[in-house]
Structure 1
Amino acid sequence: MTTQQGDGEGAAAPDLGARFDRVRRDNLATVLGIVHTDGAASRSALTQATGLNRSTIAALVGELVDRGLVVETDPVGTNRVGRPSPVVAPDPRVVAIAVNPEIDAVTVGVVGLDGVVQHRVRRETDGVPSAPRAAALAAEVIAGLRSGALSPDVRVLGVGLAVPGLVGSDGGVVRLAPHLGWIDEPFAAVVASATGLPTRAANDASLGAIAEGRFGAGRGVDDLVFLNGGASGVGGGVLIGGGPVTGVGGFAGEIGHTLVNSVGELCHCGAVGCLETEVGQARLLAVTGLDRGQADQLDAALAGAEPGSPVAVEVRRQIDFLAVALRGVVNSFNPALIVLGGFLGSLHAADPGRLAERVRGQSLPGARDDVRITRAALGVDRLTIGAAELAFAAVLADPASVTRAS
Structure 2
Amino acid sequence: MQGNNHDDVRRHNLATILRVVHRSGPTSRSALTRLTGLNRSTISALVSELVLLGLAAERQPDATRQVGRPSPVVQANPRVVAIAVNPEIDAVTVGLVGLDGVVHRRIRCPVEHSPSATEAVNIATAVIDGMRGELALRFDVVGIGAAIPGLVRISDGVVRNAPHLRWTDEPFAERLSAATGWPVVAANDASLGVLAERYFGAGVGLTDVVYLNGGASGIGGGLLVGGSLVGGHAGYAGEFGHTRVSQSAARDSAGIAGTLEAEVTRSGLLAVLGLDNTADADDLERALLASDSPQVRAEVNRQLDFLAVALAGAINVLNPQIVVLGGFLAALRAADPDRLQQAVAALTLPEVLAGVRIDSARLGSNLLMIGAAELAFEGVLGDPQAFAAGSGA
- The interval holding the TM-score normalised by the smaller chain is over 0.9
- The question of 1:277 aligning with 2:241 is answered no
State the Cα distance separating 1:332 from its structure 2 match. Answer: 1.4
Match of 1:381 among 342, 366, 378: 366
- The question of 1:336 aligning with 2:336 is answered no
- The question of 1:370 aligning with 2:393 is answered no
State the Cα distance separating 1:76 from its structure 2 match. Answer: 1.1
**What's the % identity of the aligned pairs?**
56
CA distance in 2, matches of 1:292, 1:34: 40
Q: Kindly indicate whether the alpha-carbon contact (under 8 Å) linking 1:78 and 1:84 is maintained by their aligned counterparts in 2.
A: no
Deviation track 1:192-228 (CA, whole Å, cap 9, x = no partner) reads: 0000001000000000000001000111111010111
Cα 1:39/1:171, change in 2 over 3 Å: farther
Other-structure match for 1:158: 143
Q: Kindly indicate whether the alpha-carbon contact (under 8 Å) linking 1:167 and 1:202 is maintained by their aligned counterparts in 2.
A: yes
Deviation track 1:89-133 (CA, whole Å, cap 9, x = no partner) reads: 001110000000000110000000011111011111121100011
CA distance in 2, matches of 1:171, 1:71: 33
AA paired with 1:234? I
Runs (5+) with no aligned partner, structure 2: none
Match of 1:318 among 297, 303, 318: 303
- The question of 1:260 aligning with 2:245 is answered yes
Match of 1:91 among 66, 69, 77: 77
CA distance in 2, matches of 1:339, 1:237: 10
Q: Kindly indicate whether the alpha-carbon contact (under 8 Å) linking 1:105 and 1:122 is maintained by their aligned counterparts in 2.
A: yes
Deviation track 1:146-188 (CA, whole Å, cap 9, x = no partner) reads: 224x461410000000000000121410000000000000000
Match of 1:176 among 149, 154, 161: 161
Match of 1:240 among 220, 225, 231: 225
AA paired with 1:346? A
- The question of 1:294 aligning with 2:275 is answered no
Runs (5+) with no aligned partner, structure 1: 1-15
State the SS of the aligned residue for 1:259.
coil
- Count of residue pairs the alignment pairs up: 389
CA distance in 1, matches of 2:345, 2:199: 26
AA paired with 2:60? D
Aligned pairs for 1:65-76 (under 5 A) are 65-76=51-62
Q: Kindly indicate whether the alpha-carbon contact (under 8 Å) linking 2:159 and 2:172 is maintained by their aligned counterparts in 1.
A: yes
Q: Kindly indicate whether the alpha-carbon contact (under 8 Å) linking 2:56 and 2:75 is maintained by their aligned counterparts in 1.
A: yes
Q: CA RMSD in A?
A: 1.6
Q: Kindly indicate whether the alpha-carbon contact (under 8 Å) linking 2:197 and 2:204 is maintained by their aligned counterparts in 1.
A: yes
State the Cα distance separating 1:303 from its structure 2 match. Answer: 1.3
CA distance in 2, matches of 1:79, 1:316: 50
State the Cα distance separating 1:81 from its structure 2 match. Answer: 5.5
TM-score normalized by the length of structure 2:
0.96
- The question of 1:306 aligning with 2:306 is answered no
State the SS of the aligned residue for 1:359.
helix
Other-structure match for 1:126: 112
Q: Kindly indicate whether the alpha-carbon contact (under 8 Å) linking 2:221 and 2:239 is maintained by their aligned counterparts in 1.
A: yes
Higher-Rg structure is: 1
Q: Kindly indicate whether the alpha-carbon contact (under 8 Å) linking 2:88 and 2:114 is maintained by their aligned counterparts in 1.
A: yes
TM-score normalized by the length of structure 1:
0.93
State the SS of the aligned residue for 2:8.
helix
Match of 2:378 among 388, 393, 396: 393
CA distance in 1, matches of 2:87, 2:66: 50
Deviation track 1:355-384 (CA, whole Å, cap 9, x = no partner) reads: 000001101232111211001000001100
Aligned pairs for 1:129-208 (under 5 A) are 129-148=115-134, 150=135, 152-208=137-193
Cα 1:117/1:17, change in 2 over 3 Å: closer
Cα 1:273/1:105, change in 2 over 3 Å: same
CA distance in 2, matches of 1:337, 1:288: 30
Q: Kindly indicate whether the alpha-carbon contact (under 8 Å) linking 2:63 and 2:70 is maintained by their aligned counterparts in 1.
A: no
CA distance in 2, matches of 1:17, 1:222: 25
